[in-house]
């Protein structure tokens, strides 16, 4: 299976017509999906370079070649940020979540830079009544996500928590 | 003309009587309830027996039982619409076997025999050159079995997701709309007749799981039983869970899911986007089938009801009528 990554490219373009198109061509040729494009003009220095942020998702193996072809067009790439956690899934947990050591639940799923609990929200209606939590797990790929889900299911069985998961829900 | 023996004249049986009343292609020659039965080769006056039943609690005389009708009467097709017994399938299973052994066709909306003994019944039917059809067992009026078998014939099925229990769907949609607790929504469903006095099989996912087993075995060529379906009910769901789901545009429904390749069958509450075709209120049933060539197809409609379920039975009867030129 091919690994997809999401990355932000900060491009410096000369402020003249056709430059953006020149930059986009190699990107689309690389097979990448363009997610957003935003550009800002330096108002204080008219005629200076145009800075464009492009968020793309593409196969990780295609990235070096894309950077080469941008360079070949004389386009400066000043920053590459890579969002590594590409898979995201949301879960709702119901049960005695706090009584059963929430930190332990989260710690057992968290694997630095590989799977992370990125959002956690809890509502406790009354003392001794089951509480409800919503948590979002992000993972680098589907295999790691499946791994995290397995762990979550094991924890839920141990702690008598009910899990409600999404149908589909992968980025 | 097709001669019909009607076993069971409750909600669905009455619907069948209603639907066939003015259809000259069919004649009901025998009928039975739990205590009695009657036979008339010239055709039964359905309104008259329902009136009699209202007065005496019986449709006929005690010497005619379902078994005796199945075994002795001259009919073409037995319509079996008695209550579902999920553990043994009886007495319907025996009635159906008697009919098939005589080379009579069978049409049923009873999930018990089909979920427990699909292969045996199919083999018995084949041996005796008869047909057994059961469109009404899954999702009431929704033509899911014929729709998948014929309409989507040849399309490999990647996954199937269904809302197959109207009671659960009603409860969850009321919790969503009004912020009710599970107990409050269940009480409301009972008052409106959407939930049985003992709703255990509905709310713990068993009813939906039985329907999933029927689809898996009869449409997807699998060989599974109720034990193969992982089940989680809706009774622990809190109003907070539904509110939290809403913050990201989701809601919660009891979903029966099936991945044929992985032999993965499950009935459990799931998060769905609020604009998913499987999200609706009331007691409808729906099934989304994800296929190789057709993409996702969703079937939706009345999952229960007297004439609604009879509509599924009618389609099976018409199929047999044409196939055997009766
Ligand atoms: N209702 C629906 O919307 C619906 C939808 C899909 C599938 N189904 C299935 O269709 C079947 C019928 O449902 P229903 O709602 O019509 O049930 P129902 O209203 O309870 O009626 C059942 C009928 O079967 C008769 N019966 C019970 N035991 C019998 C026996 N041993 N021999 C002969 N008759 C017997 C009953 O007799 P008495 O009149 O003497 O009690 C009654 O007339 C069930 O298997 C159900 O799961 C129902």
Domain ranges (residues) in chain B: 2-140+306-323, 144-302
Question: Is the Cβ pair A94, B161 closer than 8 Å?
Answer: no
Spatial distance between the Cα atoms of A135 and A113, rounded to a whole number of angstroms: 17
Selecting from A130, A165, A169 the residue whose C-beta is nearest the C-beta of B238 gives A130
Question: Is the Cβ pair B271, A92 closer than 8 Å?
Answer: yes
Residue nearest to atom 47 of ligand 1 (CA): B84
Return the percentage of chain A with pLDDT > 70, whole number. 91
Q: Where are the domains of chain A?
A: 4-83, 87-165
Region A124-130: what's the mean pLDDT?
Answer: 82
Give the largest Cα separation in chain A, rounded. 66
Ligand 1 contact, B94 CB (< 6 A): no
Give the pLDDT score at A42. Answer: 64
Residues 101..130 of A with a Cβ closer than 8 Å to B: which? 121, 123, 125, 130
Classify domain B144-302 at the CATH topology level.
Answer: Dihydrodipicolinate Reductase; domain 2 (3.30.360)
Selecting from B161, B241, B243 the residue whose C-beta is nearest the C-beta of A164 gives B241
Question: Is the Cβ pair B238, A121 closer than 8 Å?
Answer: no
Give the pLDDT score at A59. Answer: 82
Distance B10 CA to ligand 1 centre (A): 5
Q: Respond yes or no on whether the N-terminal peptide bond of residue B91 is cis (omega within 30° of 0).
A: yes
The answer, for A84 touching chain B at a CB cutoff of 8 Å, is no
User: In this structure, are strands B157-163 and B250-259 parallel, antiparallel, or unpaired?
Assistant: antiparallel
Q: Please say whether the beta carbons of B271 and B250 come within 8 A.
A: yes
Element (H, E) at B47: helix B46-56
Question: Is the Cβ pair A164, B247 closer than 8 Å?
Answer: no
Crossing angle between the packed helical segments B46-56 and B11-20, to the nearest 10 degrees: 150
Interface of B with A (CB under 8 A): 161, 232, 236-238, 240-241, 243-245, 247-248, 250, 252, 255, 257, 268-272, 276
Classify domain A4-83 at the CATH topology level.
Answer: Alpha-Beta Plaits (3.30.70)
How far B273 CA sits from the closest chain A CA (Å)? Answer: 9
Classify domain B2-140+306-323 at the CATH topology level.
Answer: Rossmann fold (3.40.50)
Region A88-100: what's the mean pLDDT?
Answer: 87
Distance B102 CA to ligand 1 centre (A): 23
Task: Name the E strands within chain A.
Answer: 4-13, 33-41, 50-59, 76-83, 87-95, 115-123, 131-139, 162-166
The answer, for A95 touching chain B at a CB cutoff of 8 Å, is yes
DSSP conformation class of B135: G
Kindly give the confidence (pLDDT) of every residue in chain B, 326 residues in length, as a single tens digit, with 9 standing for 90 and above. Answer: 999 999 999 999 999 999 999 899 999 999 999 999 999 999 999 999 999 999 999 999 999 999 999 999 999 999 999 999 999 999 999 999 999 999 999 999 999 999 999 999 999 999 999 999 999 999 999 999 999 999 999 999 999 999 999 999 999 999 999 999 999 999 999 999 999 889 999 999 999 999 999 999 999 999 999 999 999 999 999 999 999 999 989 999 999 999 999 999 999 999 999 999 999 998 999 999 999 999 999 999 999 999 999 999 999 999 999 999 98
pLDDT tens across A149-160, in order?
999 999 999 999
Chain position carrying tokens 């799977």:
A115
Among the ranges given (A14-18, A128-132, B28-32), the one the predictor scored with the smallest mean pLDDT:
A14-18
Ligand 1 contact, B12 CB (< 6 A): yes
Selecting from A130, A164, A169 the residue whose C-beta is nearest the C-beta of B252 gives A164
- Atom index in ligand 1 nearest the CA of residue B9 equals 43
Helices (H), chain A: 19-29, 63-72, 102-109, 142-159
Question: Is the Cβ pair B271, A169 closer than 8 Å?
Answer: yes
Ligand 1 contact, B82 CB (< 6 A): yes
Spatial distance between the Cα atoms of B21 and B27, rounded to a whole number of angstroms: 8
How much is the ipTM here? 0.81
Helices (H), B128-231: 144-146, 166-178, 182-191, 200-203, 206-218
Give the pLDDT score at A3. Answer: 66
Give the pLDDT score at A169. Answer: 41
Computed on alpha carbons and rounded to an integer, the radius of gyration of chain A in Å comes to: 22
A120 falls in which pLDDT band (50, 70, 90)?
A: confident
Give the pLDDT score at A43. Answer: 65
Region A94-102: what's the mean pLDDT?
Answer: 83
Give the pLDDT score at A83. Answer: 73
A112 falls in which pLDDT band (50, 70, 90)?
A: confident
Ligand 1 contact, B11 CB (< 6 A): yes
Tell me the C-alpha to C-alpha distance, in Å, between residue A54 and each of A33, A88, B104, B106.
10, 21, 69, 64
Sign of CA dihedral B307, B310, B314, B316: positive
Residues 8..47 of A with a Cβ closer than 8 Å to B: which? none
A47 falls in which pLDDT band (50, 70, 90)?
A: low
Q: Which of B8, B53, B165, B199 to mutate to test the pocket of ligand 1 (most atoms within 8 A of CB)?
A: B8
Question: pLDDT averaged over chain A?
Answer: 83
Spatial distance between the Cα atoms of B8 and B53, rounded to a whole number of angstroms: 12
Region A81-101: what's the mean pLDDT?
Answer: 83
Please state which CATH class domain A87-165 belongs to: alpha beta
The answer, for A169 touching chain B at a CB cutoff of 8 Å, is yes
Tell me, yes or no, if B35 is annotated catalytic: no
Spatial distance between the Cα atoms of B254 and B232, rounded to a whole number of angstroms: 9
A171 falls in which pLDDT band (50, 70, 90)?
A: very low
Distance A120 CA to ligand 1 centre (A): 48
Question: Is the Cβ pair B271, A162 closer than 8 Å?
Answer: no
Give the pLDDT score at A1. Answer: 44
- B35, B54, B211, B243: the catalytic one is B211
Question: Is the Cβ pair B252, A162 closer than 8 Å?
Answer: no
Give the pLDDT score at A45. Answer: 67
Element (H, E) at B33: none
């Amino acid at each position: 299976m091919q690994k997809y990554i999401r990355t932000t490219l900060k491009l410096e373009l000369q402020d003249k017509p056709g430059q953006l198109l020149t930059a986009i061509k190699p990107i689309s040729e690389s097979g990448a999906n363009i997610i957003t494009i935003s550009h800002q003009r330096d108002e204080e220095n008219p005629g200076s370079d145009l800075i464009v942020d492009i968020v793309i998702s593409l196969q990780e193996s295609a990235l070096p070649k894309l950077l080469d072809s941008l360079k070949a067009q004389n386009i400066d790439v000043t920053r590459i940020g890579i969002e590594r956690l590409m898979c995201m899934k949301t879960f709702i947990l119901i049960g005695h979540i706090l009584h059963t050591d929430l930190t332990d639940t989260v710690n057992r799923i968290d694997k630095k830079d590989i799977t992370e609990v990125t959002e956690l929200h809890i509502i406790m209606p009354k003392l001794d009544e089951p509480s409800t939590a919503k948590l979002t797990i992000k993972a680098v790929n589907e295999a790691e996500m499946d791994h995290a889900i397995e762990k979550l299911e094991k924890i839920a069985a141990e702690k008598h928590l009910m899990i409600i998961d999404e149908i589909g829900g992968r980025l | 003309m097709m001669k019909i023996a009607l076993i069971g004249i409750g909600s669905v049986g009455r619907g069948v009587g209603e639907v066939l009343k003015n259809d000259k292609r069919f004649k009901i020659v025998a009928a039975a309830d739990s205590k009695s039965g009657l036979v008339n080769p010239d055709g039964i006056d359905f309104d008259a027996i329902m009136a009699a039943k209202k007065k005496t609690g019986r449709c006929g005389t005690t010497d005619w039982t379902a078994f005796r009708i199945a075994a002795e009467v001259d009919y073409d097709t037995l319509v079996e619409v008695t209550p579902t017994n999920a553990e043994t399938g009886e007495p319907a299973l025996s009635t159906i076997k008697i009919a098939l052994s005589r080379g009579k066709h069978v049409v049923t909306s009873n999930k018990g025999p089909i979920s427990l003994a699909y292969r045996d019944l199919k083999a018995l039917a084949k041996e005796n050159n008869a047909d057994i059809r059961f469109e009404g067992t899954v999702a009431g009026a929704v033509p899911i079995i014929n729709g998948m078998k014929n309409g989507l014939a040849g399309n490999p099925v990647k996954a199937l997701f269904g809302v197959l229990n109207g009671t659960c769907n009603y409860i969850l949609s009321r919790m969503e709309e009004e912020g009710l607790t599970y107990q409050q929504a269940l009480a409301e469903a009972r008052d409106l007749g959407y939930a049985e006095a003992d709703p255990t099989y509905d709310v713990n996912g068993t009813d939906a799981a039985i329907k999933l087993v029927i689809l898996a075995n009869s449409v997807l060529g699998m060989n599974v039983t109720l034990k193969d379906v992982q089940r989680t009910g809706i009774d622990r769901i809190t109003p907070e869970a539904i509110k939290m789901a809403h913050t990201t545009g989701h809601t919660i429904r009891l979903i029966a899911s099936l991945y044929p390749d992985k032999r993965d069958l499950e009935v459990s509450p799931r998060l769905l986007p609020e604009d998913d075709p499987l999200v609706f209120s009331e007691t409808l049933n729906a099934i989304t089938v994800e296929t190789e060539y057709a993409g996702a197809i969703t079937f939706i409609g009345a999952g229960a009801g007297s004439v609604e379920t009879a509509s599924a039975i009618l389609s099976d009867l018409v199929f047999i009528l044409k196939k055997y030129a009766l």
